[in-house]
Amino acid sequence: MLQVRNVRADDKRRDTLATEVSSGIGEVNEKLRQSEVRSIVAFCSNRAETLRFALLPETDFKKLIREATWDTLTAIYNLLTWRDGWNGYDACAPKYNAVVNADKWIEQLYLVVMSLHGNWIKPNVTASADGDVVFEWWHGTKKLTVYIGEQSAEYVKVWGLNTDSDMSDGDAESISTCRLLWLWLVS
């Protein structure tokens, strides 16, 4: 439940916007966590960016996001244990900088989803043969695949069997593109 108190800029206690959610696991807890983050994002999106830091320290806000995406982050960093040839052929081991970039990208996407008042869908996390991090989501007949390289993010959308007319691809680095991709996936 969101609790807001009249906060003055000089308030040294820097009251937080949300109460703690238990650290248990389960669907109900996940929905509560998403609701908590959505409330904070909605509150902050209507005000100057600096207000967010005055009300909720950045470390607390980042902690909420990391807790909400913990399973995905764990899967991303577990890729660093994969070695060259992980696929039984000559695939490159996942690249460290691609993993770090994927961490930042998934956090950005999560914030986009919360700002849209959407429900987070955990992606399948794997690697490409080139050492990139790969996220995949399925929703109905739609599939979204995002390849995160050391300095890039690219997507492939699939909505049918015809590779000429039922697929598109592009750059997935900007927030506006992430928003459009998510809206396409869940619509």
Write the pLDDT tens digit of every residue in 58-70.
667 788 889 999 9
Top pLDDT among 140 and 164 is at 140
| Strands of 124-127's sheet in order across | 124-127, 133-139, 142-148, 153-158, 167-171
Top pLDDT among 81 and 27 is at 81
* Radius of gyration, CA atoms only, the chain: 18
| Share of residues in the chain with pLDDT > 70 (%) | 76
| Distance between CA atoms of residues 35 and 2, nearest Å | 9
- What pLDDT, on a 0 to 100 scale, did the predictor assign at position 14? 33
CB neighbour burial string for 71-97, b if at least 16 within 10 angstroms, e if fewer: ebbebbeebeebeeebeeeebbebbee
| Distance between CA atoms of residues 38 and 174, nearest Å | 20
- What pLDDT, on a 0 to 100 scale, did the predictor assign at position 53? 46
Question: Is pLDDT of 117 > 80?
Answer: yes
Top pLDDT among 139 and 46 is at 139
Report the number of secondary-structure helices (H) and strands (E) in the chain.
6, 5
Nearest to 71 by CA among 42, 113, 110, 32: 110
Token duo for residue 129 = 């043969």
Lowest mean pLDDT of 15-24, 68-77, 91-100, 140-149, name the range. Answer: 15-24
Q: How confident is the model at residue 44 (pLDDT cuts 50, 70, 90)?
A: low
- What pLDDT, on a 0 to 100 scale, did the predictor assign at position 164? 84
HSE toward the beta carbon, residue 129, CA cutoff 13 A: 5
Q: How confident is the model at residue 43 (pLDDT cuts 50, 70, 90)?
A: low
Q: What is the pTM of this model?
A: 0.75
- What pLDDT, on a 0 to 100 scale, did the predictor assign at position 109? 96
